[in-house]
Chain A
């Protein structure tokens, strides 16, 4: 069955969209309050009703962030650990990010860069979560505190670098993607171009 290019196809479930926003907002607020702590920025503290309140908010947002990162695996993990030879070709072509002239190998729902980025976020995310909980809950152990604080901050640098790149590539550099975060659907013609393997699977009835 061939899909009509004029139709819309669902790429993300409603639950998936809500979870993505939860992840994004908690992460951005955690990063913002994190910068506040790291550089003792008074105005950020004030935005969060003062530093003592910001600590409580930071800790509980961490719980929200943890829950939505775990849930995100339900939606994205399987896709993101599936690689084939096209992924190697994609890396060689740098995903077409450096030039629009190169041919980009056919991709599934997500491209190689997106998959790797997700795995990176997952790794750093769980790193920052584990160390965050240690700082929060085990302050009496000095060695554990020193290491957790260090790794928490190291993962923080990674996260702080990832967020702007992700927002740029996701929302600005690839017009048409923002609607996935809002409606969860994309035009079939668009998906055929960006995710030909996925559309092919759907058309062949191999995909739900």
Chain B
């Protein structure tokens, strides 16, 4: 199956937050009580009840003293997903045929390692301590429906479709580089940024922490090889050198009382 994705265009976003509400509506998530912190950005951060949030960045440019950037912040559905690499519970995180990184709460053990493995600071947890994040509406996609955020967006700032088509569209629209096209094996959430990614709150070159890579790629196999090695060494020692038998010096003598 074609890998599916989202193309997010901050320039088209009007910051109406309809996608935030639609996401809550489909995923049956309650409102988060927040306080006015001087920004329309609300809630202030992703949480177990907010899988998708519009980030509001007020960053004046040379030509525009009141530049206001809106960008959807959510799980990027990485191809090489740090969360999946570090997760110790099989099946808690899984890839759907469409390329979404989905969650099975029944299998999640609530260890929260996925937050440490994610390069985008995405995973959040519910009251039950289990992973609670955007699944690209894997349940809707399975039934031929498109993700809620994309369906709701009134301006086309969140477009859903075959990932390759989306990249083609963005290129045709004049974006020479689509954010997420090649990072981490290719992100499922693609961004048509006009300016440097960090202006929008994203790292120029997102990477999984090198400690996670070092462990999973290189050291982890050592624990099997090592175990096999010492087991083999023990067997060889047993036959080549043999056990340290201690002979009872009085074995043949009469046992004294």
Contact = CB atoms under 8 A, between A and B. Distances in A.
B242 A164 contact: no
A147 B92 CA distance: 23
Nearest to A104: B244
B115 A153 contact: no
A168 B234 contact: yes
A174 B109 contact: no
B226 A161 contact: yes
Interface stretch (B31-39, B51-59, B214-222): B214-222
Contacts of A165: 230, 233-234
Interface stretch (A36-44, A73-81, A85-93): A36-44
B211 A164 contact: no
Contacts of B243: 172-175
Contacts of B248: 187, 189-190
Interface string A162-193: 00110010001111100000000001011001
Contact of B234 (A42, A52, A153, A164): A164
Contact of A160 (B111, B113, B121, B223): B223
A164 B231 contact: yes
Contacts of A193: 246
9 contacts: A6-B256, A40-B87, A40-B89, A140-B115, A146-B209, A150-B211, A150-B212, A164-B230, A176-B246
B185 interface: no
Given A161-B230, A189-B250, A40 B88 contact: yes
Nearest to A193: B246
Given A51-B92, A154-B219, 18 more contacts: A4-B256, A38-B220, A38-B223, A40-B89, A52-B106, A96-B244, A97-B237, A139-B111, A149-B211, A160-B226, A161-B230, A164-B227, A168-B237, A173-B243, A174-B246, A187-B248, A190-B246, A194-B246
A149 B86 contact: yes
Given A5-B249, A97-B237, A165-B230, A145 B113 contact: yes
A207 interface: no
A109 interface: no
Contact of B245 (A98, A149, A175): A175
Contacts of A51: 88-90, 92, 107, 109
A156 B113 CA distance: 17
A145 B242 contact: no
Contacts of A40: 87-90
Describe A's contact surface by its main secondary structure.
helix
B16 to A, nearest CB: 31
A149 B208 CA distance: 14
B110 A55 contact: yes
B219 A6 contact: no
Given A100-B244, A146-B209, A153 B250 contact: no
A166 B41 CA distance: 59
A5 B90 CA distance: 57
Contacts of B214: 150
Given A139-B111, A165-B234, A145 B246 contact: no
Nearest to A56: B109
Contacts of A160: 223, 226-227
Interface string A49-85: 0011011000000000000000000000000000000
B88 to A, nearest CB: 3
Contacts of B246: 174-176, 190, 193-194
Interface string A130-160: 0000010001101001110110011011001
B112 interface: yes
A139 B115 contact: yes
Contact of A38 (B88, B106, B230, B238): B88
Contacts of B1: none
Contact of B244 (A140, A149, A156, A174): A174
A60 B231 CA distance: 29
